[in-house]
Amino acid sequence: MIKGDFISNLGRIYGFYTGGFIAFVLLLAVLEQMGVPNRIIGYLFVFLTIAVYAVIGILARTAQVSEYYVAGRRVPALYNGMATASDWMSGASFVGMAGSLYILGYDGLAFVLGWTGGYVLVAVLLAPYLRKFGAFTVPDFLAVRFGGNPARVVGIIVLFCCSFTYVTAQIYATGIIASRFLGLQFEVAVFVGLIGILLCSMLGGMRAVTWTQVAQYIILIIAYLIPVVWLSAKITGVPIPQIMYGGILEKITAIEKTIGITKAHIQPFTDYNMLNYFALILCLMLGTASLPHILMRYFTTPSVRDARISVGWSLLFIFLLYFTAPSYAAFAKYEVLTNVVGQQISSLPGWVKAWGQVGLVTVTDLNKDGILQWAELKINTDVIVLATPEIAGLPYVVAGLVAAGGLAAALSTADGLLLAIANALSHDVYYKMVDPQADAKRRLIVARILLIIVAIFAAWLASTKPSDILSMVAWAFSLAASGLFPALVLGVWWKRATTPGAVLGMIAGFGVCLYYLIGTRYYGMPEWFGVKNISAGLFGIPVAFVVTWVVSLLTPAPSKEMMDFVDRIRVPRGGPVMQQD
């Protein structure tokens, strides 16, 4: 029997939850052995896990503004770190990263380095100080630090654009999973995934999303580790893939030489030249430190000290997945090279046809000999993790488990992103600018309505398949880094930064990044210095810094009160400088 309140029993509650989930997986494994069809196994995984998230969302529903926006600032650092890791490890990390490493090899490490390195910047430059400020949203900080609505409005525009791009990628990931494992058309599947997102985030806001994301992290990390640990034990005899995949890479290299593959992905700068490689790392790092839905997570901790500790826990929990991703790619590629390439096209494994029906695996008999060659098999980067259990011939329950993990990753990030957008629109636009007298009930109603509208629009856009997951995510990071990072960092660390400087810097940096991204993606504009548009922030970030610096020096310095305010934000001890109502 559990005594005490929810917070004091978190260990027991999530311990029971983890044990229950493992028992659920074992039960489905037994049902598979008893002959229950794979389709039923897939439905049970997808629907029952979504049902768990929905129940948490309903139980954690709230009508208190502070609970809706920042979970009441009572989330212990350990669990906030876990929730942040879940919020962070989106469909791009779970579904797309290993696939990127599978296709790009060494060059795919730019995503790993950029995303993990960004958390160092979060810990050192921003998270503790935004928590000390006491904000509900990032535009709140910009408005107070830079004197009113102009900075708030520009911040909202940047927040909306980068978060909407990011959430579209997450809903796209849910569509891939639901279409494959539920047998639905992709255009329908994205809206099925959307239901799970809304059931959690709409009712309980940040409070519900926080506790749901802890549950989702447990599922996604179990789902990510089990297949590759199983593969490592099967192929090498040692169930530690993180240290065994080096030998597998040597075998892959030998096989590639045998079948005539000359592109050595174990060598650096094969697909990305040095400029694009390091440009991508920079944009992902600064974007990580600028994404509103990540920074919002540190507003939920009880103190500034807890915000710092939360970042440390976040890095640990993220490390578990990122450290495993390269081994995932290596073992998956080894399985494809040894068990699929060289086989009769007419007798390929069932997973090839199944994923081909979703449009993510393509087989073409270029040689007209009926034998599958490496160049004749095209696997989308978004498939590798989801298909690896089937590629390796593992029980279907493992494939269903991975689908549940991918769904957890995509849903958790989508929840955070939709909240960031809806909260900015309801709190920063409606409450702060349109109706400052609005009571708590009206503000929450507005937030929920806006959340639904944005979610439906994002699902519609995702149904059009605008690009692959990693590309959409990289665009979001460049937009966030160009529009928000200079203003946030200079707002904390340079007291001389002025309102005109920050506002014009955000506009200039974001504008340059958006111009380059849209021009090169949709209008055939030549690339500047050969930089790919996933690193469009390489041009926007320096422009934002320079414009902010120059304009700030040409305009009157902030008041002494504001400079003192910035000094107080930098002091790690004590409570928030501002208390939100």
Question: What is the percent of the chain with per-residue pLDDT over 70, rounded to a whole number?
Answer: 90
What's the CA gap between 141 and 492, in Å, rounded? 10
Range name among 67-71, 178-182, 519-523, 555-559 with the lowest pLDDT average: 67-71
Section 148-161 average pLDDT: 89
Q: Which of 117, 84, 489, 575 is nearest to 305 (CA)?
A: 575
pLDDT tens figures, 286-300 = 999 998 878 877 766
**What pLDDT is recorded for position 1?**
42
Q: What value does the mean pLDDT of the chain take?
A: 84
**What pLDDT is recorded for position 540?**
97
**What pLDDT is recorded for position 359?**
80
- Buried (b) or exposed (e) across 97-118, using 16+ Cβ within 10 A? bbbbbbbbbbbbbbbbbbbbbb
What's the CA gap between 206 and 65, in Å, rounded? 10
Identify the DSSP state of 344. Answer: B
Domain ranges for the chain, please list them: 34-570
Section 489-510 average pLDDT: 95
Range name among 57-71, 72-86, 145-159, 355-369 with the lowest pLDDT average: 57-71
pLDDT band at 539 (very low <50, low <70, confident <90, very high): very high
Section 466-474 average pLDDT: 85
pLDDT band at 541 (very low <50, low <70, confident <90, very high): very high
Q: How many angstroms separate the Cα of 117 from the Cα of each of 101, 174, 266, 425? A: 18, 27, 22, 30
Q: Are 94 and 321 in contact (CB under 8 A)?
A: yes
Identify the DSSP state of 576. Answer: -
The residue written with tokens 């928000």 in the block is: 484
The one-letter code for the residue type at 441 is K
Range name among 44-53, 362-371, 453-462, 512-521 with the lowest pLDDT average: 44-53
The CATH label, of 3.30.450.20, 3.30.2270.10, 1.20.1730.10, 1.10.357.10, for the domain at 34-570 is 1.20.1730.10
- Confidence check: pLDDT of 497 > 90: yes
pLDDT band at 446 (very low <50, low <70, confident <90, very high): confident
Q: Which of 389, 396, 337, 385 is nearest to 360 (CA)?
A: 385
Q: Which of 412, 405, 407 is nearest to 320 (CA)?
A: 405
Neighbours of 43 (CB within 10 A): 15
**What pLDDT is recorded for position 57?**
67
Structure tokens at 258: 């045998």
Question: What is the percent of the chain with per-residue pLDDT over 90, rounded to a whole number?
Answer: 27
Q: Which of 290, 299, 283 is nearest to 488 (CA)?
A: 290
Structure tokens at 479: 């937009």
- Confidence check: pLDDT of 501 > 60: yes
What's the CA gap between 256 and 266, in Å, rounded? 11
